Amino acid sequence: MSHHKFEDAAVRDHAMGLNTAGEPLDQFTPAQVAKLAQISGLLDELPVVTTDEELDAIIVSLIAIRDRP
Span 24-33, pLDDT tens digits? 777 888 998 8
C-alpha 48/C-alpha 38 separation (Å) is 18
How many independent structural domains does the chain possess?
1
User: Between residues 22 and 1, which one has the greater pLDDT?
Assistant: 22
Domain membership of residue 15 as a residue range: 3-66
Residue 41 pLDDT greater than 80, yes or no: yes
Task: Classify 6 in phi/psi space as left (phi over 0), alpha (psi -120 to 50) or beta.
Answer: alpha
Residue 3 pLDDT greater than 80, yes or no: no
- Which H/E stretch holds residue 26? none
Model confidence, pTM? 0.69
Residue 20 pLDDT greater than 90, yes or no: no
